[in-house]
Chain A
Amino acid sequence: MASVELNNLGLTFTVRHDKHITLKDFLVGRIFSGFTKKPMLVQALAGINLQVREGQRLGIIGHNGAGKSTLLKVLAGIYQPSEGKRVVQGRISSLFDIALGFEQEANGWENIRFRCYLQGETPPGVLAKQQEIAEFSELGDFLNMPVRYYSAGMRVRLAFSIATAIDPEILLVDEVLSAGDLAFQGKAHQRMREMMAKAQIMIMVSHDLEAARSVCNQVLWLEHGTIRMLGDANQVIDAYQHWASVANQKGESNPGGHVVQAAA
């Protein structure tokens, strides 16, 4: 029985102007404090309470920078929450940033193996799957070539084929994946629908409200890192659309998460 639960969860992180400080800056900054730029504390998520049970299809909507992708990464266990608790039962499969992190020097077959192992496969499992992955990607002999020579479209195709060759219990998806050329996209959408149907729990971040309406039975509207509204998909999306059109007329723009304070 898969389930996901977030209890009063919050995430804060520090952002520096130049991201990395050198050891010299750190030591000198200690002596002449005030010389180095102060890091800013960003509250990306705050007070999130969420329970997702088996059978639910949850969509996450909100403006850019509202914390949608951050929330998804917390759900996936990639970001550790600064406050609150995350309790997950079931195996998580996540589909985001899939085109990142190919080993450039290794060929397609080897990359299939790495990815499968990263997703928790065992050698017999990989053996059983790699042929199917290769066929779905339609890359043929290119799989014997190092990934460094692949075009962007080929990479996405390979990444998508690997990432979706799983039986997900809990599926996390960021945006709609546009994979490869038109013919492949049709195939990809078909497979996404199958996966979403198979998963016990599906959580997706979406900008495409109509897609969210058709796929999800529940929607979470995130604003400034907090839950503005959570409930039935149609209700929440209607409310969001109404709010967005009003905000548009007023000419309001929505900056991202709160910058809480300049940390010392």
Chain B
Amino acid sequence: MIFGSDSSTFKQYLAEIWQGRFFWMSLVRMDLRSRYRGSALGMGWSLLNPIFMTIILCTVFSTLFGQDIHSFAPYVMTGLAVWSYLSQSMTLGCMCFHQSEAYIMQHPSPMAIYPLRVVLGNCFHFAISLGLAILLALWGTGWPGLLPLLSLLPTLVLFLIFGWSIACLFGLMTVHFRDVKHLTEVGMQVLMYLTPVWYPAKLLQERGLGWLVQINPLAPFLELIRAPLLDHVAPSPMVFGSALVVAITSFCLAAWTLRVREPKLIFYL
């Protein structure tokens, strides 16, 4: 059940996750279905939510600050898509183990599947809003070219790894300290204003606050999506490298913490 120090037990752990795939995939499907159960629009809500936010923000920014709507609308849309993926991975990740308590109590499964359940659900919504963002970018700034679009594929892998890692870490923290969930929600509000999600990064640079973006570990993930869609270039090696470092570091931290805490986790639920 635990990551071993050698690679063979790690492989075995991965194999166990794979063996349980029907279980966690059915949980993900159910999460998606029950989220919109009883609502007239159903899945439509996950389309409408980012659309409305983009319309509101674009109206405000283009009338107040004279932003060009063609480049600004896709900018906001990509920002919101990435941000809601990251923040949901953290806030929903907090409850990932508690939410699945009954299964943990009944059947020994690799604990890694519970953050995975959360993140795969998020990925679905991310894919929808990213699809919208791509359409909007096509309308606003034209065809980005094949290579920049293809660069989104490795990007998505990084998103998956990073999302799983933060969901796992915040889930583990919440198991031990119940107030982490509330702290996270407050923290995400603060972090949102420190990250150029819906305001232009220029605004910060003009005020000499560009370093805020440079030290922000979430900023490269925004850039990974924006470079191909808005600037029509593949992300620079620097951006890709920093996102890779952030994703791998958080993955190692999450995997190591899970390895240490997994055997005792059940006693804290």
Contact = CB atoms under 8 A, between A and B. Distances in A.
Interface of A: 13-14, 20-24, 26, 76-80, 94, 96-98, 100-103, 105-106, 110, 113-114, 117-123
B48 interface: no
A100 B269 CA distance: 15
A112 B106 CA distance: 15
Given A79-B266, A114-B23, A117-B22, A24 B107 contact: no
B105 to A, nearest CB: 6
In the complex, the 4 A-B pairs of residues with the closest C-beta atoms, listed nearest first: A101-B102, A80-B263, A77-B108, A117-B23
B180 A23 contact: yes
Given A23-B180, A118-B107, A119-B107, A13 B264 contact: yes
By secondary structure, the A interface counts as: loop
Interface residues of B, number: 33
Contacts of B101: 101
A20 B178 contact: yes
Contacts of A76: 107-108
A114 B26 contact: yes
A120 B178 contact: no
Contacts of A79: 266
Given A23-B179, A80-B1, 15 more contacts: A20-B268, A23-B177, A77-B108, A78-B104, A80-B262, A80-B264, A98-B106, A100-B102, A101-B106, A105-B34, A113-B26, A114-B23, A114-B26, A118-B109, A121-B22
B189 to A, nearest CB: 18
A168 B2 CA distance: 25
B27 interface: yes
Given A14-B267, A20-B178, A121-B22, A97 B30 contact: no
B42 to A, nearest CB: 14
B103 interface: yes
B8 interface: no
Given A23-B177, A105-B37, A97 B106 contact: yes
B7 interface: no
Contacts of B105: 78, 97, 100-101
Contacts of A13: 264, 267
Contacts of B109: 118
